Amino acid sequence: MKTALIVLSDPNAGTEEALGRVFNALAVAHEFKQAGATVQVLFAGAGTRWPAVLNKAGHPAHALYKQVLDTVVGVSCGCADVFGADDQGLARITTNAVPGTTGLPSLLALQREGYQVITF
């Protein structure tokens, strides 16, 4: 089984719900990683803002983020551009050439590669 976890929640919302979404995505990544399952995390939409927030040592999800950082494949390039996100050196994914953008991740390609896609 292969799973792709897409984080869309916005840390700038400042809500418990936004934090809960990213925390649960990271927790799922941790669980799958510990079980030896193939898992990847991708930040898209306003979620491209999360890496800069999660890299702060005082953030409540920082330690968990560091534990699963090897599962993070990157951020949506076009979304990072639109939302002014600091990608923290993560790969910018451009597999879906959407006109008028610098490219977004292709969920179709992930499905064709056998990934189950879950959004947070």
Q: What does the domain layout of the chain look like in residue ranges?
A: 7-119
Q: What is the pLDDT of residue 18?
A: 97
Find the length of the chain: 120
Tokens of 33: 């990683």
What does the pLDDT look like over 10-42, one tens digit per residue? 999 989 999 999 999 999 999 999 999 999 999
What does the pLDDT look like over 45-56, one tens digit per residue? 999 999 999 999
Q: What is the pLDDT of residue 120?
A: 98
User: Are the beta carbons of 11 and 18 closer than 8 angstroms?
Assistant: yes
What does the pLDDT look like over 60-102, one tens digit per residue? 999 999 999 999 999 999 999 999 999 999 999 999 999 999 9
Q: What is the pLDDT of residue 27?
A: 98
**8-state DSSP, 104:** B
Q: What is the pLDDT of residue 25?
A: 98
Q: What is the pLDDT of residue 114?
A: 98
Q: Dihedral of CA 104/75/60/120: which sign?
A: positive
Pairing of strands 72-76, 92-93: parallel
Q: What is the pLDDT of residue 45?
A: 98
Place of tokens 């976890």: 5
Task: Provide CB contacts within 8 A for 34, sequence distance 6+.
Answer: none
> Once rounded to an integer, what is the mean pLDDT over residues 4-15?
96
Tokens of 42: 């991708």
Q: How many separate helices (H) and strands (E) can be counted in the chain? A: 5, 5
